[in-house]
């Protein structure tokens, strides 16, 4: 594993190098002015991280006299690593190159003298190097930040995907719990209530009341559990049990309702479609038991070349309604199932005081076999 050099150590080394260069240059010139400008340049380097541009300006006198250029180059690098304004960087570059090359005009008789031209080229490249290096490191830091943002975005996207999968599974589990458990428990409650009304034995009546009350409490707990599990999403797979249309006769026979089935579905329906039809009929019969005691129901299945329709119609209730808890999760689940198959659910009362629930599915999406 590569260890990075501490930034404080790098700053200390740069200041020491600039101080040594300034001291040696000033001693060579034997001038207190050069020593003062060198000290100012070295002190300016200690503030280059906070004020890079003033620090660069403070190092320029030391370049003119006594000729110490390390501090100016380091300060110019700090300006380049902080700013992206190319007008500012170009100006600093020209100023630095001009000040560094200025003493050459005292050594040559004319501008086009070879020593002057070579010196200008040399000092121009010398002043341009820290600017390019600063821009390179500035770009590197920006790319590192962008990569970190991309990584965080991908991690966030993965978390969202995981939450979406979990939401679909919870939604699927809630729907299956409601469809299966609510159907069976409400049937127990209805039969216990009927037994309580029909029997004359006090012990049997009390036991039936206990069973009915336990069933009501169970349905209430189930409603709270479904509220906790309920989440939006579309199921990719179905949980067991996996009913089909061959189970309709058993469902109707065990519903404790005077119900009859009229019509048949086309052959070759896909399993999701068969489950949607089964769950729709199951939910409708459950609602009849809960909200219309004593009512009879008619289940009609018909289809044409374009649509498959399942209609469950019940008569008005003939007995007092049992106080069974409901949060309408069943109808919401039916609407979700239908929407997944590009179908629709319609519900509403009938003129005689009953209720009708209708499922309509496109026959092409229902997967019916074509002859």
Which of 31-45, 51-65, 196-210, 212-226 shows the lowest per-residue confidence on average (mean pLDDT)? 212-226
pLDDT, tens digit (0-9, with 9 covering 90-100), for 35-63:
788 888 888 888 888 888 888 888 888 77
| Residue 224 contacts residue 329 (beta carbons within 8 Å) | no
Per-residue pLDDT, 1: 44
Residue 100: name the closest of 131, 68, 132 by CA: 68
Residue 332 backbone dihedrals phi, psi, to 5 degrees: -60, -45
Q: Which two tokens stand for residue 139?
A: 């770009």
Average pLDDT over residues 265-285: 85
Query: Taking 80 as the threshold, does the pLDDT of residue 338 lie above it?
Result: yes
Residues 257, 279, 319: CA angle, nearest 5 degrees: 25
**What pLDDT sits at residue 237?**
41
Round to whole Å and give the CA distance between 180 and 228. Answer: 17
Secondary structure of 166-226 in the HEC alphabet? HHHHHHHHHHHHHHHHHHHHHHHHHHHHHHHHHCCCHHHHHHHHHHHHHHHHHHHHHHHHH
pLDDT of residue 211: 78
Mean pLDDT, range 260-281, rounded to an integer: 86
- CA distance to 14, 53, 70, 75, 321, per residue, from 50 (Å): 16, 9, 19, 11, 79
Q: What is the Cα–Cα distance from 210 to 190, expressed in whole angstroms?
A: 13
d(CA 81, CA 89): 10
Q: Does residue 313 surpass a pLDDT of 50?
A: yes
Alpha helices in the chain (DSSP H): 7-29, 32-45, 52-64, 70-82, 86-101, 114-177, 183-198, 202-229, 248-253, 271-291, 329-340
Which range among 161-165, 274-278, 282-286 shows the weakest confidence by mean pLDDT? Answer: 161-165
β-strand pairing of 258-262 with 296-303:
parallel
The helix/strand/coil state of 360 is strand
Q: Which residue has the tokens 């089909």?
A: 244
> Structure tokens of 358?
């209708």
What is the third-level CATH fold of 242-371? Heat Shock Protein 90 (3.30.565)
Grade residue 150 by pLDDT with cuts at 50, 70 and 90: confident
Kindly report, as residue ranges, where domains of CATH 3.30.565.10 are found in the chain: 242-371
Tokens of 49: 């991280």
Beta-sheet strand order (sheet of 344-349): 258-262, 296-303, 307-314, 355-362, 344-349
Distance CA 79, CA 247 (A): 80
pLDDT of 143 over the 60 cut: yes
Tokens of 320: 């007092």
For the record, the structure tokens of 344 come out as 């629709």
Orientation angle between helical segments 52-64 and 32-45, nearest 10 degrees: 160
Residues 352 and 340: beta-carbon distance below 8 Å:
no
CA distance 225 to 321: 24
Query: Which residues share a beta bridge with 345?
Result: 359
pLDDT above 70 (res 224): no
Q: Which residue has the tokens 């729907």?
A: 175
Mean pLDDT score of the chain: 76
With beta carbons less than 8 A apart as the criterion, state whether 229 and 172 touch: no
Measure the CA–CA gap between 324 and 217, rounded to whole angstroms: 9
């Amino acid at each position: 594993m590569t260890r990075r050099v501490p930034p404080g150590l790098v700053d200390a080394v740069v200041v020491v190098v600039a101080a040594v260069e300034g001291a040696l240059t000033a001693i060579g010139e034997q001038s207190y002015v050069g020593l003062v400008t060198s000290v100012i340049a070295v002190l300016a380097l200690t503030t280059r991280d906070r004020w890079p541009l003033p620090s660069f300006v403070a190092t320029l006198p030391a370049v003119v006299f006594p000729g110490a250029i390390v501090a100016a180059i380091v300060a110019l690098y700090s300006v380049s690593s902080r700013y992206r304004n190319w007008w500012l960087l170009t100006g600093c570059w020209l100023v630095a190159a001009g000040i560094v090359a200025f003493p050459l005009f005292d050594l040559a008789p004319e501008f086009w003298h070879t020593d002057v031209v070579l010196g200008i080229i040399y000092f121009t490249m010398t002043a341009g190097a820290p600017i390019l290096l600063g821009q390179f490191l500035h770009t590197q830091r920006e790319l590192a930040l962008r990569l970190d943002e991309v990584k965080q975005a991908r991690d966030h996207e993965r978390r969202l995907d995981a939450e979406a999968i979990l939401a679909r599974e919870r939604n699927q589990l809630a729907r299956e719990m409601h469809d299966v458990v609510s159907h069976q428990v409400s049937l127990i409650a209805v039969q216990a209530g009927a037994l309580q009304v029909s029997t004359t034995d006090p012990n049997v009546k009390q036991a039936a009341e206990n069973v009915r009350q336990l069933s009501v409490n169970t349905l209430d707990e189930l409603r709270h559990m479904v509220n906790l599990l309920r989440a939006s999403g579309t199921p990719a797979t179905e949980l067991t049990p996996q009913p089909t249309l061959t189970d309709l006769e058993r469902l109707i026979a065990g519903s404790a309702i005077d119900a009859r089935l009229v019509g048949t579905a086309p052959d070759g329906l896909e399993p999701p479609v068969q489950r949607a039809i089964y769950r729709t009929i199951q939910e409708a019969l459950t609602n009849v038991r809960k909200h219309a005691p004593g009512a009879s129901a008619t289940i009609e299945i018909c289809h044409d070349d374009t649509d498959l329709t399942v209609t469950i119609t019940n008569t008005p209730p003939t007995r007092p309604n049992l106080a069974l808890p409901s949060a309408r999760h069943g109808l919401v689940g039916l609407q979700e199932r239908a929407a997944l198959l590009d179908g629709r659910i319609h519900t509403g009362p009938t003129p005689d005081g009953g209720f009708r629930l209708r499922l309509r599915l496109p026959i092409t999406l229902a997967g019916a076999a074509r002859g």
